[in-house]
Amino acid sequence: MKRFILCGFIGLSFVSFSQNDSIVKAKVISENQGYELSYNEGVKKFQANDFEGALKDLNESIRLKADIERTHFYKGVSLFNLNDFANALASLNQAIQLQPTADAYFYKGQVNEKLGKNDVAFEEYNNSLKINASYYQSRYYKGVLLYVKNELEAAKNCFDSVITVNPTFAYAYNDRASVKLALNDVDGAIKDYSQAITLAPDMAIIYNNLGSAKRKKGDFTGAINAYNQAIEKKADYAIAYNNRGAARIDKGDFKGAIADFDKALELKKDYVFAYNNRAGAKNKLKDFKGGIEDCNKAIALDANYGMAYLNRGILHENMLNMKNACEDWIKAKSLGIVQAASFLEYCH
């Protein structure tokens, strides 16, 4: 019987830094003039995440005195948090014109990422680091962008340098682990995920990722235990249910796997991976018709999901319907599924 291909998920943290945390502390200035009073009121509202209220006070401060860099900076970050990206950039540019700072360039990078301009964002993070080489947030997001581009060694170097500057930053350990896993350094990944958990024991995504690393190592019991912990931290974590189901298939617990995929789909009704994987469990239980129905649902949600065609072909073959099997494998190959080529050898 051909091997059914399952789909799981390994995630970066993609941390969003809070303005009340590590990026910047709002500075209250003396209250000698009217612009200072408006600025300080804006800062207080900013720190309370009342960004609309902050904007009113910051705009009044700018009306009274337009050459204070921090006023434009906080206005830009407030606009960023309100998803007004064009005006956020304008305010951050004004702040930089008055006084270039690492945090202003960092937020320009964040805005450009939101706009889908990752190459521009990357350069803004570089500009931030030219001003302050220890500004680890910019280096962290450089690492994330490099990971997305599959420049894995460069991404790892970025996360290494983040950890050097801030050795208690759990996100960097998690994301460096994901890079190591992609580089097949499974033991290194497990070590980094474990350190991330020590630093941030309530982050469900890290337990999920640790489970996937242990599954890759062949430690299916350890993987299931890690996914259990992810679900304990986040009861509606559809990804962890899906991944635990895949690990249960690895252990031969096909009914338990189906229960996990059912739960994943209850939580996320358009979860194509879970439909594909549940089809795999049904295939193991010789419920070929049910498996085909699940593949059909995955394809209905994503017509370019090549794995579902490949796996539906396996199910058709198991039902002795080689015509449909070969048609599915041809489609899978056309969608870039390299495994389909070997399956097509059975179609001559």
pLDDT in tens, 286-311: 999 999 999 999 999 999 999 999 99
pLDDT in tens, 95-107: 999 999 999 999 9
Q: What are the structural domains of the chain?
A: 202-269 (1.25.40.10), 272-348 (1.25.40.10)
What's phi and psi for 46, nearest 5 deg?
Answer: -60, -45
Could you give the percent of the chain with pLDDT greater than 90?
89
Q: Is 23 exposed, middle or buried (0-12, 13-18, 19+ CB in 10 A)?
A: middle
With beta carbons less than 8 A apart as the criterion, state whether 54 and 74 touch: yes
Residue from 241, 238, 314 nearest 283 by CA = 314
pLDDT of 22 reads 28
Interval 257-282 mean pLDDT: 97
pLDDT of 263 reads 98
* Confidence bin at 7 (pLDDT 50/70/90): low
With beta carbons less than 8 A apart as the criterion, state whether 274 and 263 touch: no
Interval 33-57 mean pLDDT: 94
pLDDT of 21 reads 30
* Confidence bin at 34 (pLDDT 50/70/90): confident
Residue 57 three-state SS: helix
Half-sphere exposure of 26 (CA within 13 A, CB side): 24
Residue 315 three-state SS: helix
User: Above 60 in pLDDT, residue 32?
Assistant: no
